[in-house]
Amino acid sequence: MENTTVFIKKNIIAANCLAHILYNATRFATGKLELDVENTVLKVYNHFSISAKRTAQLKEFCEFVDVDNCNLLRHVVTRWLSVLPSIDRILKCWEVLKSYFQSLAEEECPQVLWKCFGDEGNACELLEIYFFFLSHTLKLFSDTIEALEAKSFSIISVFKLMAELKSKLERRIKDCFFGFAVNTKLSQLTPDVSKKCEADFIVFYERVIKYLSDRYDFSENSFHKVSKLSLTSAIPFGEFCDAVKACNFQDIDMDELYEEYGMVEAIINTPEMVDSHSEERYLKLFSKSEVSFTNVKKVSAYIFSIPCSNAHTTSFFNDDFSLEKQEKLSASGLSQSRAQNM
């Protein structure tokens, strides 16, 4: 029994939710910044959301400076894509918010917000720089998460996507680039303050990279060498074979697979395969050929069954059901509801 357990564990492939890992990486790094941007976002929204009078006053300020759509967006800490739109909306209304809070007496304004917007000195200017920095940086992560959640995205594309994100972060460290707006504003600060901000942003990049590297294997020897199975280009059978072996198949006839891959190579660069993503390439391969492709079908069935994230599962519950209904939901009811939404 003990040996059987060890055997099973060796053949389990870790398919962690990369969307969660990316979001947690940003929170891990953001929490160490000198200025707490996320807390400021929450405080600003809460200040107006609990008072219709304050909201009306903010609207008056918007009309006075001719700013459209100054409705603040709520950031929900359990929703990884909500913080960036909230930050961008506050940046759009920055001068309006600054004027509003500075019009208040200190005792009428929450202490955190007074220090950010109403207090004398360069606190407001620095906070704006931090907002611009996260607006620039979080977009990299937001775009990556949206790519992971796309219906046409598969595990064979994950390694390239994650490697590109890591490369972009490393390039920013090398070039000390924090977004054009940030770099421009940093050049207008005193050297000591500018250097302190730069060091803080570099540490953010480094912490994000470390968090990702601790939880995702970026080496070429990782399971995600299965990207070689994408059929987007012809590769030597040896590389294709290594990728198949990385999946720990138990019932693949490698001799037959060699013959099948020879026919794949003859089809892969034909005009009808151009501009097709991996799933379409496999489907066209199976539908157009008279060969059964028994082993290639096993490979494709396996790799396209591995989820890149749990986004589709969680969105199914979040969009259609309250927590109370989820707890009472029966298996049959879930199947019927899912069928209606498909």
For residue range 93-133, list pLDDT tens digits in order: 898 888 888 888 777 888 888 888 876 668 889 999 999 99
User: How far is the C-alpha of 85 from the C-alpha of 73, rounded, in Å?
Assistant: 7
Write the DSSP symbol of residue 243.
H
Residue among 212, 226, 301, 300 nearest 18 (CA): 212
- pLDDT band, very low/low/confident/very high, at 341 (cuts 50, 70, 90): very low
- pLDDT band, very low/low/confident/very high, at 325 (cuts 50, 70, 90): very low
Residue among 21, 26, 32 nearest 87 (CA): 26
- Please compute the mean of the pLDDT values over residues 20-43 and round it to a whole number: 91
Query: CA quadruple 189, 191, 193, 195: dihedral positive or negative?
Result: positive
Is the per-residue pLDDT at 33 higher than 80?
Answer: yes
> What is the chain's mean pLDDT, rounded?
82
* Identity at 177, one-letter amino acid code: F
Q: In angstroms, how far is the first alpha carbon of the chain from the final one?
A: 42
- Please compute the mean of the pLDDT values over residues 62-71 and round it to a whole number: 76
- pLDDT band, very low/low/confident/very high, at 329 (cuts 50, 70, 90): very low
- Please compute the mean of the pLDDT values over residues 167-185 and round it to a whole number: 97
Lowest pLDDT segment from 10-19, 47-56, 307-316 = 307-316
Please tell me the pTM assigned to this model. 0.81
- Look at residue 151 in the predicted model and tell me its pLDDT: 74
- Please compute the mean of the pLDDT values over residues 58-68 and round it to a whole number: 80
Lowest pLDDT segment from 77-81, 130-134, 177-181, 212-216 = 77-81
Is the per-residue pLDDT at 310 higher than 60?
Answer: yes
